[in-house]
Amino acid sequence: MAARHPSESDPLRGSLDLLILKALSLAPMHGWGVGLRIQQISRGRLEVNQGSLYPALQRLEHRGDIESDWQSTENNRRARYYTITRQGRKALGEEVDKWKRFADTIAVILES
């Protein structure tokens, strides 16, 4: 049954949430914008499967890290905009710390 969760087998799982939160911490955005932003920040080095953003967004919203509502875009289309919540900012901070510690640890091991 675990096979039915594509996100679970995604190597970016966990870090995807982190990236989304980071992207949204800059400004509220719709899903497409989030994907674009991640690509821009990584300067094209990170190829995110765009569709997998949505289950992740849903998961984050369910957890209360982000909120969403329907707004119109500048060229007058209806889109769902996601906003990071206070809890989301806190989680982002913690995740970033954790990630850095983890990266440091790996770096220490690799350099030894």
Partner 1 sequence: MSLLKGLVARTRSVFAAHASEARMEEEFCFHLNMETERLVSAGMAPDEARRRALVAFGGLDQHREAMRDGRGARLLADFTSDIRYALRAIRRSPGFAIAVAMTLGVGIGVNGIVFGYVNTMLFRPMPVNNAKELVGVFTLDTRSGSPGLLAYQDYLDFRDRSGAFAGLAGETGVPLNLVAAAIGSAATADMIWGDMVTENFFSVLGMRPAIGRFFTAADAPRGGNPFAVLSYDCWRQRFHGDSSIVGRVVRINGSEFTITGVAPSGFKGLRTFGFWPEMFVPVGMHNVVMPGSKQLLEGRGAGWIYVVGRMHPRWTMQRTERAASVFAAQLASTYPGSNENFGVTLLPGGSGFDHPGFVKPRVLVLASAMGLFASIVTLLIICANLANMQLARAAARTHEIAIRLSLGCSRTRLARQLLAEALVLAIPGTVLAMMLVRLSPWLEQFLVPHLQFRVGLGPTSDYRVALFTAAVALLAVLLFALMPALRVTRPSLAPTPASVIGARGRGARPRSGIRGMLVVTQLAMSVVLLVGGTLFVRSLFVARAIDLGFDASNRLLLSVNIGLQSYDGARGRRFYDDVLTRTRALPDVVSAAWAFPVPFDTYGRGVGLYVASARTNSKNGTFSSNSSVVSDDFVKALGLRLEAGRELAAGDTSGVPRVMIVSRSLATRLWPGRDPIGQRARQGSASGPEVMVVGVVSDASFLSLGDQTPDRAYLPIRQNYREWQTLVIHTRGEPMTALPRIRAIVASIDPSLPPFGVMTMKQSVESGFSTSRMAASVAGFFAALALLIAAVGLYAVVAGSVTERTREIGVRLALGSTPSGVLRFIMSGGARLGAWGLAIGLIFSIAVAKLMGGLLYGLSPSDPVTFIVAPAVLAIVVLIATYLPARRAVKLDPIAALRSE
30 binds partner 1 (CB under 8 A): yes
What's the closest the beta carbon of residue 42 comes to partner 1, in angstroms? 15
Contact 82, 29 (CB under 8 A): yes
In the bound state with partner 1, the residue whose beta carbon lies nearer, of 29 and 91, is: 29
5 binds partner 1 (CB under 8 A): yes
Alpha-carbon distance 47 to 91, whole Å? 24
43 binds partner 1 (CB under 8 A): no
Environment class of 13 (CB within 10 Å of its CB; exposed 0-12, middle 13-18, buried 19+) = middle
In the bound state with partner 1, the residue whose beta carbon lies nearer, of 10 and 22, is: 10
Give me 91's structure tokens.
Answer: 């989680």
Alpha-carbon distance 112 to 75, whole Å? 54
Identify which range of 15-23, 74-82, 83-91, 94-102 contacts partner 1 by CB under 8 A: 74-82
Chosen residue from 13, 22, 59, 89 binding partner 1 by CB under 8 A: 59
Sign of the CA dihedral with 35 first, then 41, 44, and 47 last: negative
For binding to partner 1 (CB under 8 A), which residues are involved?
A: 4-7, 30-32, 35-36, 49-52, 54-55, 58-59, 62, 77-80
